[in-house]
């Protein structure tokens, strides 16, 4: 590990991978591997530090990853849901950020607007981590790439295919990280759920620089040759009113054994950020079957999140 380069990440917030260079993302990835390999060691690296964990939406993995990673290294994480805190209700996000920045070493935010996590970063003066917004889920994407690399080695030139809601936070984050790391990334989705043109245009030159072939298609044959097939729920948090419409649009893109077999590779793995709605975006056979790496991927949330915090929290 190049500790000098790692030190250059100190003080940074993680709002979206768009704010990081390819080299920096690689540092986070390699450091995550190191942190995972030392998972049974307790070093108290967060001793005397505090983490505010703000949640507007529910969470199992993200909350538990941040909380256990921080706590087991001697830090004090404080969980604050919108039932507990004034955030945006009785007090502006700016003022909340100013106050939390005086009391905490870092802030994790999960919620609706990307602008909220940006404001927290702009006004708190401490590192802020995006634990999912409507637009991005960057800590998830790092765990996804780590899982890909655990199975296939360096991710550059590998093929990842996302089948499902192509405009959601998980697909968008994969689009960015794959462009930056040279991963060939296809989104198969109906035209109505394609990722927005602005993000695609933003990623296009990045993908060209790093040799990533980025494709958006409604053709299921896009899975041919895929190292990994990925899906996410059809209805993201906050979009519950769209359930009926999404079922109709996305049923043809369900990840089932037929789609997995269509890759033409025996070693294709299945990824899912979880939670999953078994029988909708993925069949039980696939997610609970031998090709699934969803549970490793869930565990990897913890090591990648610990690595992100270790690298960015000022010493």
DSSP string covering 13-34, please?
-BS-GGGS-HHHHHHHHHHHHH
137 in Cβ contact with 171 (< 8 Å): no
Q: C-beta of 101: minimal distance to ligand NVA in Å?
A: 27
Tokens of 213: 């072939």
Whose CA is closest to 113, among 90, 143, 93?
93
Q: Which residue in 13, 62, 179, 236 binds ligand CP (CB under 6 A)?
A: 62
Per-residue x/- marks for ligand CP, 115-154, CB under 6 A?
-----------------x-------x--------------
Catalytic choice (155, 172, 273, 293): 273
Whether 232 is catalytic is yes
Site residues for ligand NVA per CB under 6 A: 132, 168-170, 232-233, 236-237, 273
The CB density around residue 201, as the number of other CB atoms within 10 Å, is: 9
Active site residue 273: yes
- Is 203 among the residues known to form the active site? no
Site for ligand CP contains 60 (CB under 6 A): yes
Catalytic residue list contains 122: no
The reply to whether 219 belongs to the active site is: no
Question: Which of ligand CP, ligand NVA, none lies near 232, with the C-beta cut-off 5 to 8 A by kind?
Answer: ligand NVA
Coil, helix or strand for 205?
A: helix
Residues 208 and 224: beta-carbon distance below 8 Å: no
In the complex, residue closest to ligand NVA by CB? 236
Question: Which lies closer to ligand CP via its Cβ, residue 12 or residue 61?
Answer: 61
Site membership for ligand CP, residue 59 (CB under 6 A) = yes
Q: Supply the minimum distance, in Å, between the C-beta of residue 273 and ligand CP.
A: 4
| Region class of 293: left (phi > 0), else alpha (psi between -120 and 50), else beta | alpha
Q: Which is nearer to ligand CP, 59 or 105 (CB)?
A: 59
Q: Which does 60 bind (CB under 5 to 8 A by kind): ligand CP, ligand NVA, none?
A: ligand CP
Return the number of the residue (121 or 174) whose C-beta is nearest ligand NVA: 174
Q: How many other CB atoms are there within 10 angstroms of residue 303's CB atom?
A: 23
Radius of gyration of the chain (CA): 19
Q: Find the shortest distance in angstroms from Cβ 233 to ligand NVA.
A: 5
Decide: residue 50, CB within 10 A, 0-12 exposed, 13-18 middle, 19+ buried. middle
Catalytic residue among 137, 172, 246, 293: 137
Q: How far is the CB of 243 from ligand NVA (least distance, A)?
A: 12
Report what 107 binds from ligand NVA, ligand CP, none; CB cut-off 5-8 Å by kind.
none
- CB 290, min distance to ligand NVA, A: 24
Residue 293 is encoded by which pair of tokens? 């790496």
Q: d(Cα 131, Cα 56) in Å, to the nearest integer?
A: 11
Concatenating the DSSP letter of every residue in 88-133 gives TTTB-HHHHHHHHHHH-SEEEEESS-HHHHHHHHHHHSS-EEE---
The one of ligand CP, ligand NVA, none whose footprint includes residue 225, by CB under 5 to 8 A per kind, is: none
What residues act catalytically? Answer: 110, 137, 140, 232, 273, 301
Q: Name the site residues for ligand CP (rule: CB under 6 A).
A: 59-62, 132, 140, 273-275
């Amino acid at each position: 590990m190049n500790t000098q380069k790692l030190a250059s990440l100190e003080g940074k917030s993680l709002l979206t991978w768009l704010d990081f260079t390819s080299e920096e993302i690689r540092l986070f990835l390699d450091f995550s591997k190191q942190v995972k390999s030392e998972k049974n060691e307790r070093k108290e690296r967060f001793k005397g530090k505090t983490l505010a964990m703000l949640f507007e939406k529910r969470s199992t993995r993200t909350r538990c990853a941040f909380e256990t990673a921080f706590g087991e290294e001697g830090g004090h994480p404080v969980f604050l849901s919108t039932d507990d805190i004034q955030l945006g209700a009785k007090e502006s996000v700016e003022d909340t950020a100013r106050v939390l920045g005086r009391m905490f070493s870092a802030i994790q935010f999960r919620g609706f607007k990307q602008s909220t996590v940006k404001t927290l970063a702009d006004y708190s003066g401490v590192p802020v981590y995006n634990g999912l917004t409507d637009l991005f889920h960057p800590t998830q994407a790092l765990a996804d790439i780590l899982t890909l690399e655990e199975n296939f080695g360096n991710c550059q030139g590998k093929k990842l295919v996302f089948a499902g809601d192509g405009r959601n936070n998980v697909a968008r984050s994969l689009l960015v990280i794959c462009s930056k790391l040279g991963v060939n990334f296809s989104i198969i989705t109906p035209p109505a759920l394609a990722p927005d043109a602005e993000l695609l245009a933003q990623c296009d030159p990045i993908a060209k620089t790093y040799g990533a072939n980025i494709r958006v298609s409604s053709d299921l044959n896009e899975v041919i040759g895929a190292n990994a097939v990925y899906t996410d729920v059809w209805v993201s948090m906050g979009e519950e009113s769209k359930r009926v419409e999404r079922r109709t649009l996305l049923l043809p893109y369900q990840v089932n054994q037929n789609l997995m077999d269509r890759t033409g590779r025996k070693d294709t793995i299945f990824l899912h950020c979880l939670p999953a709605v078994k029988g909708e975006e993925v069949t039980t056979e696939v997610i609970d079957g031998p090709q699934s790496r969803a549970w490793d991927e869930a565990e990897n949330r913890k090591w990648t999140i610990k690595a992100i915090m270790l690298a960015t929290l000022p010493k």
